[in-house]
Amino acid sequence: PFFALSSLSLHPFMADADALIKTKCPPPSAPLRLWIFALVLALSGGFHFGYNMVITNPAQNSFMKFVNESSVPMSNEELNSYWPIIVSMLSIGGVLGSFYIRIAADRLGRKNAMMMTTLGQTVSCILSIISFFIRNTHLYSFSRFLLGFFQSIALGVAPLFLSESSPPHIRGRISLSTGLSVQSSVVFGSVLAMPQVFGDSWYLLYVVELILLLIPLLSIPFFPDSPSFLVAKGHIDEALRSIIFFHDGDQNYALSEVGKLVEEDQENEETVGIWKVFAERINREPVVNGCMVVLAMISSGIVVINGYAVSLLMEVGLSIDAAAWANIGIGSIGVIGVLLSSFFIDRYGRRPILLSTLTLILLSNIAIVILMFLFEQTKNVFYGEILLIPICIYCLLFCAGPSPLSFSIPAELSSISIRGSAMTWATVTNAVYRSIVLAIFPPLVLLYGTSAVYSILFIPISLFTLIYLFIRLPETKQR
């Protein structure tokens, strides 16, 4: 077992980190267990985030029927106003959970924090299932809030844990596992949530999620904690064993890597809190840049594409079955986008990939708005069918750039003393913007039309973040 290396000790070397760093060893290739570890973390964080983001849209009629049967019967207008609030509870819980990322990551450790969030998500799924059988909308709303709370912490801690545990030369490819898991779960959730699969028995969606959560719940205890966290806590021997396990290098390589971590830890001050991080420019700048990367991702329109894709396509003339299948196709193209990104991310770096995809996404969004507007004016289904082309292009670009990179860049920009706070603010940015859009998009569409609301909510902010990142974002490759 990987903890059988207890005879190795670094304590005599701690005073001379430079000697360790000068140990020249070739970087190891990624061992299979590191990829398995990435998969386990994905099944605890990113996968469930994407899954819960989409299941309420294809199965919306079943959920709304449940809401109507659980309370005083409502009119269609009342249901259309009430349902988005229930949907947004996931993101509202995410906003609150975001503020606990640093506390969980730094006090509990990366490993224990992931155990806590997995257990919390498991309890949330059980509550969702119970709410179906007792016909209680309030319990279901609370379960979504709780699910959002723990998912938010998992989304912040998992990329941090994975980034700190991966060799620098393959960190980009390994980090893509979060984005890949999110997009794969979008496809998976879109298929399961189709009315033809479970019908009105939507609780089965959470039974499936509950089964998947058992994998990380039973697996995470067998992995070591992050080497960076262990060094920061003074557990040098455990950090050495962690690097040997995750990197599959020999003892000399592990000594060299731990030496770098010891030197970094000696240079850094103690952990900086989420509010104090803005006091000094050296800390403030990477945190703000990380938040802007996330804002560029979330303001590109993905909230609507993922959350309301079926409704959106039905509004432009597609039947419910055609819209549901188109939604699955759009998600599948996203998976291809993440896989394409894996060939370029460590070769060309994060900055050029992010900026180029954001630019093309902006152009795709302009095409989407134009086609929406033309359909609203002419009611010609041709424009609705053609709309699928820029949406598919958008999804391919989004999943090749902003989606996976927004999970890794905030951590790579930051030193270990502010990394927890940086991930907190990045996740807060995601959750706040997402919860606002999910709550206001449907009622605004009823008042002003889809094309007007889509353009106002996404295009100006996308343009602003693109310009900002072009000026301010540094390259984070090999960090």
Report pLDDT for 269.
Answer: 60
435, 53 Cβ separation under 8 angstroms: no
Give the pLDDT confidence of 16-39 residue by residue, as tens digits. Answer: 445 444 555 555 556 788 889 989
Residue 224's identity, in one-letter code, is: P
**Lookup: tokens for 199:** 């019908």
Of 227, 184, 180, nearest in space to 405 by CA: 180
Of 324, 444, 332, 315, nearest in space to 383 by CA: 315
Give the pLDDT confidence of 92-139 residue by residue, as tens digits. Answer: 898 888 888 888 888 888 999 999 999 999 999 999 999 999 988 889
Of 435, 437, 439, 440, nearest in space to 149 by CA: 435
Residue written as tokens 């006090």?
107
In sign, the C-alpha dihedral spanning 337, 339, 345, 350 is positive
355-369, 390-404, 459-473: range with lowest mean pLDDT? 390-404
pLDDT-derived band at 149 (thresholds 50, 70, 90) equals very high
Query: Rounded distance, CA 65 to CA 86, Å?
Result: 13
Query: Rounded distance, CA 81 to CA 16, Å?
Result: 64
Give the pLDDT confidence of 41-78 residue by residue, as tens digits. Answer: 988 888 888 888 888 877 777 888 888 777 766 667 77
pLDDT-derived band at 276 (thresholds 50, 70, 90) equals confident
Report pLDDT for 459.
Answer: 93
Report pLDDT for 4.
Answer: 39
Of 119, 123, 118, nearest in space to 161 by CA: 118
CA distances from residue 333 to 185, 195, 365 in whole angstroms, order as listed? 13, 22, 17
Residue 384 phi, psi (nearest 5): -65, -40
Per-domain residue ranges for the chain? 14-472
Torsion of CA 306, 310, 316, 317, to 10 degrees: 160
Mean pLDDT of 397-404: 87
Of 143, 179, 93, nearest in space to 432 by CA: 93
Mean pLDDT of 439-454: 85
Residue 448 has pLDDT above 70, yes or no: yes
Report pLDDT for 365.
Answer: 93
Mean pLDDT of 69-90: 75
pLDDT-derived band at 421 (thresholds 50, 70, 90) equals confident
Residue 347 has pLDDT above 80, yes or no: no
Mean pLDDT of 199-216: 92
Residues in the chain: 479
Query: Rounded distance, CA 87 to CA 453, Å?
Result: 19
Mean pLDDT of 283-299: 91
Residue 472 has pLDDT above 60, yes or no: yes
Residue 14 has pLDDT above 80, yes or no: no
Report pLDDT for 3.
Answer: 38
Tell me how far apart the terminal alpha carbons of the chain are, to the nearest angstrom: 30
Answer left, alpha or beta for residue 166, where phi above 0 means left and psi between -120 and 50 means alpha.
beta
Count the helices and strands in the chain (H runs, E runs).
25, 0
Residue 198 has pLDDT above 80, yes or no: yes
CATH number of 14-472: 1.20.1250.20
Query: Rounded distance, CA 48 to CA 58, Å?
Result: 16
Q: What is the mean pLDDT of the chain?
A: 82
Query: Rounded distance, CA 39 to CA 45, Å?
Result: 10
Mean pLDDT of 246-259: 76
